[in-house]
Amino acid sequence: MHPLIAPVCEWYVGAARDLPWRRESCTPWGVMVSEFMLQQTPVARVLEPWRAWLERWPTPADLAAEPVGEAIRQWGRLGYPRRAQRLHNAAVSITTDHGGRVPETRDALRALPGVGDYTAAAIASFAFGRAEVVLDTNVRRVLARAINGDEFPPNAVTAAEKRLGATVMPVDGPFPAAMWAAASMELGALICTARSPACDRCPIADSCAWVAAGRPAHTGPPRRGQAFAGTDRQVRGRIMALLRESDIAVPRHRIATVWHDATQLDRALTSLLKDGLAVETDAGLTLPT
């Protein structure tokens, strides 16, 4: 067993946040919804939308029975509304191809619409307790610092990181692989954070390569930022907010009021239509049905 596993998992037992998708009562579908919502979105913003979603659609079949536009409407201001579209598509596939039950294996999950490598591994691990290498941003940062001595991991997941994750993952002993996945993720979220790591409270500070090296600054490629203001993404968000709030088609002249730059507005609107997040009719723009 890798020496990081025991201290991190023992820390997790007392420090883990009580998140609803971690409770034993949570269904695999509840875990799956949380994984879609948590992509690029903080936990605090997901809690209430997750509860509302599961109250309205407690099973994949419940969601699949409604138009995709309702999923997009319910998604609200979580951002990246294509996640709602993809989650709806996955619910349809689960209902038609898997008898309404979220599949258990990583490969079967990966075959669902909109489910990538990380999401498939996370659902298989957290919903079904399977031994999977779960590499989200937090886990990758913990491994980069504790083992490699680097402040930050590469911008994109590498083959070397996957090999390292597999080496660290427990295959036997008192701590299951799913527990390690959750514990290392929580350590990155609460202690080994990107901006203000609390090394004085870290359970593995004494064995951390980055701490031992004096916490050297990142020297790799510049880290990608998350700019929002003034971007096409912001314009798309404003258009989507207008469509979600309307029960009827919104005419183009009304759409034009949400942004000052007509060229950027047209570009954002064109992309929404191309992505299938909006539909144009003679009366104006609506969510898809």
Tell me 214's DSSP state.
T
Q: Dihedral sign, CA of 143, 145, 148, 154? A: positive
Q: Using N-to-C axis directions, what is the helix angle for 177-190 and 5-15, rounded to 10°?
A: 70
* Burial category of 263 from C-beta neighbours within 10 Å (exposed 0-12, middle 13-18, buried 19 and up): exposed
Tell me 246's DSSP state.
-
What's the Cα-to-Cα distance from 243 to each of 77, 180, 230, 238, 284, rounded to whole Å? 12, 42, 20, 9, 10
Number of neighbours of residue 74 by Cβ within 10 angstroms: 18
Number of neighbours of residue 64 by Cβ within 10 angstroms: 20
Gap between the Cα atoms of 83 and 115, Å rounded: 10
* List 35, 70, 151, 186, catalytic entry: 35
Active site residue 280: no
Q: Are 54 and 33 in contact (CB under 8 A)?
A: yes
Gap between the Cα atoms of 249 and 28, Å rounded: 36
What's the Cα-to-Cα distance from 168 to each of 123, 134, 154, rounded to whole Å? 19, 11, 18
Residues taking part in catalysis: 35
